[in-house]
Amino acid sequence: MHLVIGYSIGGLLLCTILFVRFFKHLELPLARPPGTSILIQPLVLMGLALPSVWHEQVLSAPAIGSNVQ
């Protein structure tokens, strides 16, 4: 899932750059939806990744009062 979202962010970014670069007269109507998606998809990606990272950090932290070194 993370790989698909990462690739789609790259593809949308490439399309947006091409729209802005080569189709100046169509810039506003064609660049707005991919631009909004580029804004939202990293937030979705962080929402998918961060809970597992936080869970791993909690599990790897030493227990309170533990003398294991």
Q: What is the pTM of this model?
A: 0.62
Q: How confident is the model at residue 68 (pLDDT cuts 50, 70, 90)?
A: low
Contact 41, 11 (CB under 8 A): no
Q: What is the mean pLDDT of residues 16-39?
A: 78
The per-residue pLDDT for 3 is 85
d(CA 48, CA 6): 12
Q: Exposed e or buried b for every residue in 41-58, given b needs 16+ CB within 10 A?
A: beeebeeeeeeeeeeeee
d(CA 21, CA 7): 21
Q: What is the mean pLDDT of residues 3-11?
A: 87
The per-residue pLDDT for 67 is 62
d(CA 45, CA 5): 7
